[in-house]
């Protein structure tokens, strides 16, 4: 019998231990989920939290300090999730102590109105807040300032400055709310080394946030189980009754952990799961393999899938596909798989063996042209990406006024849509995008086109002395058709003619500056990056998960990127919803009584 088949059979009969399930690298629940409750529970606690990221750690700490026993399971071998490698920007407002210190007159009501304002749109016409769930935003607005004060009380150090708009993404137009976690003295995941002591209190990073919360969790007595991957959520009956616990894989052992009061999902979203994300956008096929945060942490939809298997509903689909913010971004680094613009992996990182290359940071997109699989240009290379509303993005601004949109200058940016358009061969995915450049561009940018700066071994970087040879060398798993050498030669020749005339007749690139003429020539992976999860499980104001009938699933909570109904990017919604979920779970009655 195949090991995976054996695993499914054993788990549908309720065996608690000794199955073949604990295969390294497997993620998400077994298809179909468990049909029976386990015969025995290996561990139990009042509250079981899934995921040690920006939702899970706050939830675990709050519940533990409220008197609950707490087990927190984390699939990876360290805490932090996406949050620990983030920029550490946290837009918590509504009247925080720091806002008051700097004379910023915010309130929960103003924050709520900002984040539900139908009239706010970007220059491309897409609304940031129109499709937010009012109940969820009301809870966030009311708990935003208390969450910020809670972070201060639990050792999180913020850069000593007034709230600003740096790093904001759909955080409200009326007032500055963005605060920045100091990076601190701990080694950073990106580099494997601490930041320079001179900037440890002035540089922002999620490192300082998550390491501070890790200390707070351990001090409070939260039991953290690393390398424990949740594979299923157990409910009294497949789609009714209370949630009773979870199943996890730990190396080659299956464990079942009972939750006496609550299970809290903080697994961090779904954009790393190709089939899941394609429910929202069919274009996002396998070649979009540079998910922001990987290879440190994935967004595998494990929490969503496990909850859906017991009846949970998804929510807030529009926010996932709305063309604002960082749901998909332009590559910031080229020549490497993991090329998110705000995250560069360095050789000292504990995951550099999987990242494989630092990538080449593009300072000036005049130094490259971008081509599709067929070796043809598709847009102005200097084009940007989707933007998002932030403090003062609209000026003048009146909450709820139709004039907000009327005052905008219509400036659509279709770089990402053009990149994802594909080659009209019947496939949904857009395919790889390659940055083409020459030896002179290498000098101008100061690049080193050799490992570990570029990933040659895995097929994300190629070089040749002739353009025709370069095209023929591009062979890798996502390049589903060969690049015709003649196409690339003609594309470069035509572009070089635009440099002579100073006019890009095809795509309007402003005054093309540099010819691609000096060998060797290079092709570097520059495919767009998938990032934010902004749709997920349906929750209410208390972060309780709901089913397709709008009924609460007793004992199941969720927050952050695995929850839907909230368009905002980043840490604030994750931390705040962890705070809400921890408090709600701690106040819940035992599930045995609910049953």
Supply the DSSP string of 45-60, one letter for each residue. EEEEEE--STTHHHHH
Does pLDDT of 15 surpass 60? no
Confidence of residue 497 (pLDDT cuts 50, 70, 90): very high
Please, which pLDDT band fits residue 36 given cuts at 50, 70 and 90?
confident
Angle (CA) 128 134 138, round 5°: 105
pLDDT for residue 141: 98
d(CA 367, CA 362): 8
Mean local confidence (pLDDT), 336-349: 96
Identical topology for domains 1-330+532-595 and 331-383+434-525? no
**331-383+434-525 CATH pick, 3.90.700.10, 1.10.3720.10, 3.40.390.10, 3.90.1150.10:** 3.90.700.10
Whether the pLDDT of residue 13 is over 50: the answer is no
Spell out the domain ranges in the chain. Answer: 1-330+532-595, 331-383+434-525
The token duo for 94 is: 């509504």
Q: Does position 27 have pLDDT exceeding 50, yes or no? A: no
- The model's pLDDT over 272-309, given as tens digits with 9 standing for 90+, comes to 999 999 999 999 999 999 999 999 999 999 999 999 99
H or E stretch at 5 = helix 3-12
Q: How confident is the model at residue 592 (pLDDT cuts 50, 70, 90)?
A: low
Pairing between β-strand 529-530 and β-strand 536-537 as defined by DSSP bridges? unpaired
pLDDT digits (tens, 9 = 90+) for 417-440: 999 999 989 999 999 999 999 999
**The pLDDT of residue 398 is above 70:** yes
From the list 451, 448, 438, the residue with the least C-alpha distance to 523 is: 438
Q: For the chain, how many helices (H) and strands (E)? A: 17, 20
DSSP, collapsed to helix, strand or coil, labels residue 233 as: strand
Q: Which pLDDT band holds residue 30 (cuts at 50, 70, 90)?
A: very low
Distance CA 534, CA 537 (A): 10
Reported confidence tier of residue 28, pLDDT bands at 50, 70, 90:
very low
Examine the pLDDT at 12 and tell me if it is beyond 80: no
**What are the tens digits of pLDDT across the range 204-254?**
999 999 999 999 999 999 999 999 999 999 999 999 999 999 999 999 899
Rounded CA separation 210/78 (Å): 11
- The predicted structure's pLDDT at residue 591: 82
Question: Could you tell me which CATH class the domain 1-330+532-595 is placed in?
Answer: alpha beta
* Side-by-side strand order, sheet with 461-464: 369-371, 434-438, 521-525, 461-464
For 417, residues 6+ apart whose C-beta sits below 8 A from its C-beta are 323
What mean pLDDT do residues 114-140 have? 97
The span from the CA of 381 to the CA of 435, in Å, is: 9
pLDDT over 70 (residue 4): no
pLDDT by residue (tens digit) across 545-584?
999 999 999 999 999 999 999 999 989 999 999 999 999 9
Percentage, residues of the chain above pLDDT 70: 93
Instruction: Name residues whose C-beta falls within 8 Å of residue 386's C-beta, 6 or more positions apart in sequence.
Output: 122, 124, 126, 323, 324, 325, 326, 327, 328, 329, 413, 416
Beta-sheet strands, E only, within 418-570: 434-438, 461-464, 521-525, 529-530, 536-537, 544-546, 552-558
Give the pLDDT of residue 145.
Answer: 98
Residue identified by tokens 């003649």 is 486
Q: Which of 9-23, 80-94, 313-327, 501-515 has the lowest mean pLDDT?
A: 9-23
Tell me if 49 sits within 8 A of 59, measured CB to CB: yes
In 108-261, which ranges are continuous DSSP H helix? 108-114, 134-153, 206-220
Mean pLDDT within 339-354: 96
For residue 467, pLDDT over 50 is answered with yes
Q: How much is the mean pLDDT over the chain?
A: 93
- Using the predicted structure, report yes or no on whether residue 9 has a pLDDT greater than 90: no
Q: Check whether 34 has a pLDDT greater than 70.
A: no
User: How many angstroms separate the CA atoms of 308 and 556, rounded?
Assistant: 12
Strand residue runs (E) in 335-394? 360-361, 369-371
What is the structure's pLDDT at 14? 32
At 233 the pLDDT is: 98
User: Cis link prior to 452 (omega < 30° from 0)?
Assistant: yes
Phi, psi of 488 (to 5 degrees): -65, -40
Q: What is the structure's pLDDT at 35?
A: 54
């Amino acid at each position: 019998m195949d090991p995976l088949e054996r695993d499914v059979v054993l788990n549908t009969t309720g065996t608690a231990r000794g199955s073949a399930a604990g295969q390294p690298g497997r993620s998400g629940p077994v298809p179909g989920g468990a049909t029976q409750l386990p015969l025995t529970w290996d561990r139990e606690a009042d509250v079981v939290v899934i995921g040690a990221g920006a939702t899970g750690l706050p939830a675990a700490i709050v519940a533990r300090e409220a008197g609950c026993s707490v087990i927190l399971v984390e699939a990876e071998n360290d805490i932090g999730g996406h949050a620990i490698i983030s920029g550490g920007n946290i837009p918590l407002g509504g009247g925080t102590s720091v806002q008051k210190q700097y004379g910023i007159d915010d309130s929960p009501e103003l924050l709520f109105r900002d984040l539900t304002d139908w009239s706010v749109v970007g220059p491309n016409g897409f609304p940031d807040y129109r499709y937010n769930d009012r109940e969820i935003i009301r809870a966030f607005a009311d708990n935003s300032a208390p969450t910020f004060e809670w972070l201060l009380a639990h050792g999180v150090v913020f850069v000593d400055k007034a709230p600003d708009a740096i790093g904001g993404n759909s955080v409200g137009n009326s007032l500055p709310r963005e605060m920045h976690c100091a990076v601190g003295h701990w080694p950073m995941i990106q580099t494997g080394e601490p930041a320079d002591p001179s900037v440890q209190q002035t540089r922002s990073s999620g490192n300082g946030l998550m390491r501070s919360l890790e200390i707070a969790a351990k001090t409070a007595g939260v039991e953290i189980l690393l390398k424990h991957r949740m594979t299923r959520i157990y409910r009294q009956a497949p789609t009714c009754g209370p949630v009773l616990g979870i199943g996890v894989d730990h190396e080659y052992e299956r464990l079942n952990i009972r939750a006496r009061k609550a299970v809290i999902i903080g697994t961090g979203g779904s954009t790393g799961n190709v089939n899941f994300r394609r429910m929202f956008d069919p274009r996002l096929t396998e070649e979009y393999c540079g998910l922001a945060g990987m290879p440190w942490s994935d967004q595998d939809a494990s929490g969503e899938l496990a909850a859906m298997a017991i009846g949970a509903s998804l929510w807030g689909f529009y926010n996932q596909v709305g063309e604002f913010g960082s749901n998909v971004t332009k590559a910031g680094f080229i020549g490497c798989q993991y090329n998110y613009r705000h995250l560069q992996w360095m050789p000292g990182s504990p995951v550099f063996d999987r990242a494989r290359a630092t990538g080449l940071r593009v300072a000036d997109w005049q130094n490259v042209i971008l081509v599709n699989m067929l070796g043809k240009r598709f847009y102005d290379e200097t084009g940007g990406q989707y933007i998002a509303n932030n403090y003062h993005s609209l000026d003048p601004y009146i909450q709820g006024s139709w004039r907000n949109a009327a005052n905008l200058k219509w400036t659509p940016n279709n770089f990402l849509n053009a990149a994802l358009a594909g080659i009209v061969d019947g496939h949904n995915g857009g395919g790889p995008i390659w940055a083409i450049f020459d030896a002179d561009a290498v000098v101008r940018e100061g690049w080193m086109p050799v490992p570990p700066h570029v990933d040659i071994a895995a097929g994300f970087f190629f070089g040749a002395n002739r353009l025709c040879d370069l095209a023929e060398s591009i062979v890798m798993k996502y390049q589903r058709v060969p690049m015709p050498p003649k196409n690339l030669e003609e594309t470069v020749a035509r572009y070089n003619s635009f440099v002579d005339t100073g006019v890009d007749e095809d795509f309007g690139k402003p005054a093309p500056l540099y010819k691609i003429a000096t060998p060797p020539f290079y092709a570097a992976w520059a495919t767009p990056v998938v990032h934010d999860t902004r749709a997920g499980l349906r929750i209410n104001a208390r972060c309780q998960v709901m089913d397709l009938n709008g009924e609460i699933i007793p004992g199941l909570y969720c927050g952050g990127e695995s929850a839907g109904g909230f368009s905002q990017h980043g840490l604030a919604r994750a931390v705040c919803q962890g705070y809400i979920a921890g408090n709600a779970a701690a106040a819940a009655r035992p599930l045995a009584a609910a049953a």
